[in-house]
Amino acid sequence: MRSLLPLLLSVPFLAGLQTEDQVLVGKILQFGKLLSTENAFIPIESNEITSELSKLNDKTVRILCSRKGSACNPIRYEMYPFETSKDIKPWTIKKIPDYVNRNFLAFNPNVSPDGKFLFWTAYIKRGKSGTQKIWYSKMDESGFWEDGKEMEAPLNNEMPSAVISALPGGNELFVFGTFGERELIEELSKEFETKSETIARSSKNSNEYRKKIEELRAEFDERSKQITRRVPLYKSHREKDSWSKPSILKFPDFYNLYRKKGDSSQELFGGSTLSSSGRILIYSSQHKDSKGKLDLYVSKMQNDGSFSLGINLGETINTDHEEMAPFLASDDRTLYFSSDGHKGLSIYMTRRIGEGWDQWSKPVEVSENLKGVSFFSIPANSDWAFISKEGQLFMAYLPKEMRPEKVVVVQGKVTDTEDNPLSAEIHYESLKSREKIGSAKSDPSTGNFSIVLPFGENYGFYAQKKGYIPVSQNLDLTSKRKFTENVQVTLKLPHIRENGSIQINNLFFESKSFEIAPESAPELDRLAEIVKENPDVEIRIEGHTDNVGKKKDNLVLSEKRAQAVAEYLSKKHSISAQRIQTVGFGDGIPLNKNDTEENRRRNRRVNFTILKKK
């Protein structure tokens, strides 16, 4: 009896797909030669994908077909159950198609928090030996993983490398590997030779020469150790046609005492994970205060961009064995890690208690089904985890009690005022504490970016690029009301030029008051920086109100709000009052009709205009 499965057709004009492309759901028959849908038997043409489908006989798949006549030329597929499927049993495991990882041994899957990019480590055999390379796949517009590709230099070189964390949007990566150490050692050797020759020429006798050479060798041995002992973690960002050269993570006090058994020169590092903001690092290492062979530690990024030596996560998590391969979910509260010291080698879950990082719930084994699994990654708001087992990539369906808390994914685009995409930095902060929480970069080719925001804060986020005026928005997630988990935004950055009127978005006043709320400080401080960095610029601060109340009162209120902003810039940032004009327009220039509370809110605003550049 044919299964009653819905027939899913793609939208014919979906961007990136040809008009004959269709998404179908059905059962594979005749060892990959036929697809049985709800209302038709569709022949499957032979290609590279067909050999994979032949192994899925009598299995249900969702498949992207290029339709030529009545036949399906398979492009991509995924196995049942699908993301939209109902009544999925907890810990259901499904394999990621072989075409994604090209049948290479694959482990260490890392999915970007927005779920659009999947990175993993592939073991590539070359002759009698092999090496580890970073591979990746991008999710297409129909929800299928594209063919996997090996990342090019500089992220892959002759040494093993791996992605440890992908920030939202997949535009920034934190990677494990060896980048630049060989060049530094070679430069050090040349410097040693040069100084040795100088000592040889200047020494008066052999004793003086021997003493100075010993001192020089001791100095260079220590400098060499500093290079080789550096934390093997790097950061790289997407450029227009490639990736930036990986830069070492600033971690000056890092050290690791754990060594390979029988080889004291080979350091063993237990992995690490970064928060979706990139500012919290949890890593596995052996320090002097470690409970066992490998413990988990947490480190916060400092104001100068460096990380301090981590704080031990404590006996609740760390045992006298090995805790490694940590993964911090996008909610910044749920931590998954691998351990052989709780109930044998398995994946465990714990949740952060309170606002600190030193109190955690008792670890719970994620599932008996995942014994032998060491690597674990979950995109934001997903019910599925990405795992590796026996050299292959899988997805595992999580029960509710094992899922991270919900977050809001902001998917945005940065452009100029003519809609051309811009490569910009996006920063987000707590408006209450004024603390910087994280940052992201937009794709140079598309301007696209993603950031992940946990609930509980009133956030301000802004995009900035040299030569442009930063543009900000506000997202208040402090309330427990129902809030969409995906937010779309576009940030249009104006050039710094005359007569450009810009709204100051994250500027807050009490109702009917001209007193500036404390949450406004970060936004006004950025405005001050623009004025300071452009000493030839004069600006006008313009106040606007809605139409509630008397026109005369609104005019006075708008003038006083503009004056309050000017006074803030002058007093706190010492900007000459001669460079700032103020004007109030009352309710005379509304952005929208004053017919709803939301429209009235938008009409209550303060703008600034660049009057002239000297």
The CATH number linked to 412 is 2.60.40.10
Question: Which domain does 472 fall in, by range?
Answer: 406-495
Model pLDDT, residue 574: 92
> How much of the chain exceeds pLDDT 70, in percent?
93
Residues 267 and 360 in one domain: yes
Q: What is the rounded distance in angstroms from the CA atom of residue 66 to the CA atom of residue 17?
A: 9
Q: What is the mean pLDDT of residues 499-520?
A: 80
- Do 272 and 127 share a domain, yes or no? yes
Residue 261 has pLDDT above 80, yes or no: no
Write down how long the chain is: 614
Whether residue 279 contacts residue 268, with contact meaning beta carbons closer than 8 Å, is answered with: no
Shared domain check, 490 and 504: no
Query: What's the pLDDT score for residue 177?
Result: 86
Residues 440 and 584 in one domain: no
Q: Is the dihedral of CA 143, 149, 155, 160 positive or negative?
A: positive
The whole-angstrom separation of Cα 65 and Cα 26 is 12
Q: Are 207 and 237 contained in the same domain? A: no
Amino acid at 546: D
Q: Is residue 3 part of a domain?
A: no
Q: Dihedral angle at the C-alpha atoms of 180, 185, 189, 195, nearest 10 degrees?
A: 90
| Average pLDDT estimate for 470-481 | 83
- Asked if the structure places residue 8 within a domain, the reply is no
Share of the chain above pLDDT 90, in %: 52
Residue 484 sits in the same domain as residue 375: no
Q: Is residue 38 part of a domain?
A: yes
Mean pLDDT taken over the chain: 87
Q: Are residues 322 and 389 in the same domain?
A: yes
Residue that finishes a domain, picked among 356, 380, 402:
402
Residue 358 neighbours by CB distance under 10 Å: 13
Residue 16 lies in a domain: no
Report the distance separating Cα 147 and Cα 169, nearest Å. Answer: 19
* Average pLDDT of the residues in 46-51: 93
Query: Domains in the chain: how many in total?
Result: 5
- Is residue 344 over pLDDT 90? no
271 plus 331 within the same structural domain: yes
- In this structure, the answer to whether residues 491 and 505 fall within a common structural domain is no
Give the contacts of 599 (CB within 8 A, at least 6 positions apart): 591, 592, 593
The pLDDT of residue 580 is above 60 = yes
> What pTM was estimated for this model as a whole?
0.79
pLDDT digits (tens, 9 = 90+) for 445-456: 999 999 999 988
Domain presence at residue 87: no
| 312 in any annotated domain | yes
Tell me how far CA of residue 59 lies from CA of 6, 51, 398, in angstroms: 15, 14, 22
Residue of higher predicted confidence among 482 and 582: 582
CA-based nearest residue to 336, from 279, 262, 386, 268: 386
Are 451 and 557 contained in the same domain? no
- pLDDT, residue 265, reads 64
Same domain assignment for residues 104 and 238: yes
Over residues 295-304, the pLDDT tens digits come to 999 999 998 8
Residue 444 lies in a domain: yes
Last residue of a domain, one of 471, 495, 519: 495
For residue 287, the SS3 value is: coil
Using the Cα atoms of residue 573, residue 576, residue 580 and residue 582 in order, give the sign of their dihedral: positive
Please check the confidence at residue 600 and state whether its pLDDT lies above 90.
Answer: no
Residue at 118 is within a domain: yes
Domain end residue (candidates: 460, 478, 495): 495
CATH of the domain at 270: 2.120.10
Among 73-82, 230-239, 299-308, where is mean pLDDT lowest? 230-239
Rounded distance, CA 150 to CA 163, Å? 12
Residue 8 has pLDDT above 50, yes or no: no
Q: Is the pLDDT of residue 4 over 60?
A: no
* Judgement on whether residues 252 and 382 belong to the same structural domain of the protein: yes
Window from 69-78, 97-106, 280-289, 367-376 with minimum mean pLDDT = 367-376
